[in-house]
Amino acid sequence: MITTDIDPDISARLAPSITTAACPGCGRPAQILAWGSKRWYACSPCADAEALRRTEIERRTKALAQWEEVTPDEFRRPLIPSLVHPSIRPALEGDTSGGTCLIGATGCGKTRVAYRLLHAAAIRGQSVFAISHAAFRQAAVSRGDRDPRRADEAKTLIQACRCAKALLIDDVGKGAATDVGDEAFFDLLDHRLSHGSLTHWTANSGSAWLKARFREDRGPAIIRRLRDLTPGRVFVASE
Ligand SMILES: [Zn+2]
């Protein structure tokens, strides 16, 4: 005969019990597993919400790490508003989720602001990437390099520009215009426009200056797409 020293009352208290009660998270009826002083709530809507919350945190953490990686040291520091031209500053006010174009001479703070806009995208959990137009132009040429390592690096760079949910193209118009470079740039803009991907860009001057920075047959179509990527969000620092 098996005997036990445990008092039957204590034994009953230690055994898990399943009851139904209002979930403390959402108030819906849920099963509660009680064991000792611990309680587990089996509530599907709350479990789903928790899983979603964790996914969002993971996505944001990853995006912020990407931002750290692509942002030069000088633009990682908090922005000092007095260093930014008064016509450029409003780009950071209100809803910043749309593609933004920042135009002005060197020193107006446009690139500084552009990296803040990219940071805001990362906080929203969007994957981010940044490139200068000169580096993009170089990558377009290097894609056909005989050195397979250089060619692969260039392809990876261009792919990153296509895939990022939020992209910053800095200093559009800089670098040498080539047929392959202009074609790749047009493809990139067209791809991002058709996918509704967030694209910010900066340039030293407006469309007349920009048009002359591309091959004649590509310029107008590129300018049109640049404009279409930043509807209603154009900030120009006048001299
Ligand atoms: Zn619940």
Domain around 18:
8-42
Q: Ligand 1 being an ion, which residues bring their Cβ within 5 A of it?
A: 23, 25-26, 43, 46
Where b means 16+ CB within 10 Å and e means fewer, 98-126 reads ebbbbbbeeebbbbbbbbbbbbbbbebbb
Distance from the alpha carbon of residue 132 to the mean position of ligand 1, in angstroms: 48
pLDDT digits (tens, 9 = 90+) for 198-232: 999 999 999 899 999 999 999 999 999 999 999 99
Interatomic CA distance for residues 239 and 235, integer angstroms: 13
Share of the chain above pLDDT 90, in %: 74
Phi, psi values for residue 9, rounded to 5°: -65, -45
Split into its structural domains, the chain has a count of 2
Residue 46, amino acid: C
Distance from the alpha carbon of residue 38 to the mean position of ligand 1, in angstroms: 17
* 131 belongs to a structural domain: yes
Distance from the alpha carbon of residue 63 to the mean position of ligand 1, in angstroms: 29
103 and 37 housed in the same domain:
no
Q: Tokens 């692969």 map to which residue? A: 152
pLDDT digits (tens, 9 = 90+) for 39-68: 888 898 998 999 999 999 999 999 999 999
pLDDT digits (tens, 9 = 90+) for 110-141: 999 999 999 999 999 999 999 999 999 999 99
Distance from the alpha carbon of residue 39 to the mean position of ligand 1, in angstroms: 13
191 and 105 housed in the same domain:
yes
28 and 100 housed in the same domain:
no
Contact 137, 185 (CB under 8 A): yes
* 81 belongs to a structural domain: yes
For the segment 72-87, the average pLDDT, to the nearest whole number, is 91
Strands 166-172 and 198-203 come out as: parallel
**pTM (two decimals):** 0.85
CATH number at residue 168: 3.40.50.300
